Amino acid sequence: MLRIKTSAGACVLAVLAASVAACSAGGDSAGPSAVSSSASAPTTSIPATLTAANLQPPLQNTRYTRAGGRPKVVFDPCTWIPDDALAEIGFDPTTRERAQDLVAEYTFLSCQVETADQARTLQLDSGNITLVEDKQRYAGKTQLATVDGREAITTQKTNADECDLDMRTKAGYFEIGVIVETAGRVKGLQPCDHIVDIATTLEPYVGDN
């Protein structure tokens, strides 16, 4: 069962790295502890972009984004994270799909992946709200963390079935949300279990701070 945390229409037109281009259709709408990485970093400075048309992010050059004055979101979790990284953290890459991207005064590019047994859903959001703004929004509910030298915070959501780790990026922050579904609750899974390990595996694909 998938849960979508943001609500906005998506206008999915292709944005690819290097000189590759592809297209997809949709609509847009306004909308503490230090850990060293055990993951292998990408072999190039720009991660290879997945080219499936249905995974491409929306265009960000709209009147809403121009009015907001925020930087464009470069890191797209649906097309920058390779299948083997998702498999390494226990999620099934074949379930990868875009969630509801938000392109407005601020932007979030979103992706969802499930475990093969549908016990957990991984919600990935890359946005241009700063980590400072994020901390203010959840003041008193976060814990400081560091993921391979990158500043981060963890938040246990009030519904107790979701845990988030938000790490700083050049444009804002990258949110890793683990949601325990019904099948996972039956197994006694906890959403914050291993979330820093998950973040450590995904961090090398985020790009420069």
Please check whether the domain covering 34-50+70-205 is classified as CATH 3.40.1000. Answer: yes
User: Pick the residue with more confidence: 131 or 47?
Assistant: 131
User: Pick the residue with more confidence: 205 or 31?
Assistant: 205
For residues 122 and 131, give the distance between their C-alpha atoms in angstroms, rounded to a whole number: 20
The two structure tokens encoding residue 96:
């990868």
Confidence at residue 130, expressed as pLDDT on a 0 to 100 scale:
95
Count of beta carbons in the 10 Å neighbourhood of residue 75: 21
The two structure tokens encoding residue 142:
């976060």
User: Pick the residue with more confidence: 4 or 196?
Assistant: 196
The two structure tokens encoding residue 195:
């979330």
- The residue ranges of every structural domain in the chain are 34-50+70-205
H or E element in which residue 199 lies: helix 195-202
- Which amino acid appears at position 97 of this protein? E
H or E element in which residue 17 lies: none
Matching residue, tokens 């592809």: 22
60, pLDDT greater than 90: no
For residues 182 and 13, give the distance between their C-alpha atoms in angstroms, rounded to a whole number: 34
107-114 and 162-168 beta bridge pairing: unpaired
DSSP state of 203: G
The two structure tokens encoding residue 171:
């444009």
pTM exceeding the 0.85 threshold for the entire prediction: no
**pLDDT tens digits along 126-137:** 999 999 999 999
